[in-house]
Amino acid sequence: MSAKTQTPKSPAHNYARGFSLGLTAYLIWGSFPLIISMLGFAGPFEIVVWRIIFGFLTAVVLIAATKSFGSLREVFKSKTNIAWIAASSIFIFINWLVYVIAISGHHVVEASLGYFINPLVTILLAVFFLKEKLSRYQWIAVGFGALAVIVLTFDYGRLPWIALTLAASFGIYGLAKNQLGGKVSALNSFAIESGFVVPIAIVQLVLVQTIGGGIMFGANGAWGSAGLIMYGAMTAIPLILFGAAAQHLPLRFMGFMQYLTPIIQFTLGLAVFHEPMPTARWLGFALVWCGLASLIFEALKGTRNNIVIKR
């Protein structure tokens, strides 16, 4: 076979690099409750404002450093892409706001629940919006999730609205990103998303100043201001690390790694923040974990079957 007719080899995946990048991203995401608790001198609405503004500025700096303004301009040539990014920006804003309110209000365990049930919500969104059909294991997982919500509703004396809102907003955010079909890089997408909600953040900051007790940025010394700035920057960094990890690891590995964040947050809620965990709450979480075990079993079964077929 001549050199001209040879099929070009795809670039080799560096699994070690992929795992280290992905692990770092999920560890940063998992540490957010600790970071937010250290920023307690500011209210949750103000924390979210600085997260958006400094996250956007970080993205702009990275785009400038990588000289990728050309690819950013290309995104705006597609009205469809911009529409989906605009939709994703609204739902990630809701997700960030509810998450910071939850952590500031000492609901770390319930926040972790939201990311545990996110895969189950994603499945339902795929059924209703993408017309996908559920497998037997997916139906079992959804059933466990529904039972868990019922049990936790009785335990909390209300719907676990924090968990449900986090799961739904992040699930819809993921659906919107899915519709982009990989046409927009993670960095460009984040820059546009955060840029779209900067005006909302500014209005929110004005409300904090006028009716929310005043802006606390700068009122707690240089370290306090630095903390708010770093939290914004750390919003962009793990997203970029995640995107880089996805280039080296199969999607199924990334899917398994996503559970690291809620596991870390759940552990922090119990061990660091000493949140109560009565028997009924343990039962609710156990039902969710059973549902996730069903999904993991199906994924492992599919992986094993693929290996057998390839052989």
d(CA 60, CA 145): 40
pLDDT single digits (tens) 2-20: 444 444 444 456 778 888 8
pLDDT value at residue 160: 93
Q: Give a yes or no: residue 48 inside a domain.
A: yes
Two tokens at 108? 């770390």
| Dihedral Cα 58, 64, 66, 69, nearest 10 deg | 110
7 assigned to some structural domain: no
8 in a structural domain = no
In the chain, the amino acid numbered 7 is T
Q: Encoding tokens for residue 309?
A: 């077929």
Residue 11 lies in a domain: no
Place of tokens 């039962």: 283
Residue 63 contacts residue 188 (beta carbons within 8 Å):
yes
Q: How many angstroms separate the Cα of 202 from the Cα of each of 55, 104, 273?
A: 14, 21, 31
280 vs 296, which has greater pLDDT? 280
Work out the pLDDT band at 286, boundaries 50, 70, 90.
Answer: very high
Q: Is residue 128 included in any domain, yes or no?
A: yes
Which pLDDT tens digit goes with each residue over 55-75?
999 999 989 998 888 888 888
Worst-scoring range by mean pLDDT, 115-119, 235-239, 300-304?
A: 300-304
pLDDT at residue 304 tops 80? no
Report pLDDT digits (tens) over 142-179. 899 899 999 999 898 999 999 999 999 988 888 888 78
- Domain range spanning residue 236? 17-310
One DSSP character per residue, 200-248 reads: HHHHHHHHHHHHSS---TTTTHHHHHHHHHHHHHHHHHHHHHHHHHHTT
Residue 232 near residue 61 (C-beta atoms within 8 A) = no
Q: Please indicate, yes or no, if residue 5 is contained in any of the structural domains.
A: no
C-alpha 269 chain-centroid distance: 18
Q: Determine, yes or no, domain membership for 281.
A: yes
Is the residue at 2 inside a domain? no
Rounded to the nearest 5 degrees, what angle is found at the Cα of 181, between the Cα atoms of 179 and 186?
Answer: 100
Provide the 3-class DSSP secondary structure of residue 94: helix
267-283 burial string, b = 16+ CB within 10 Å, else e? ebbeeebebeeeeebee
Exposed / middle / buried, residue 263 (Cβ in 10 Å: 0-12, 13-18, 19+): middle
Q: Which residues contact 56 (CB under 8 A, 6 or more apart)?
A: 191, 194, 195, 198, 232
Domain count, the chain: 1
Locate tokens 């559920």: which residue?
Answer: 134
Greater pLDDT, 288 or 219: 288
Using 50, 70 and 90 to split pLDDT, how confident is the model at 250?
low
Burial tier of 58 (Cβ tally within 10 Å: 0-12, 13-18, 19+): buried
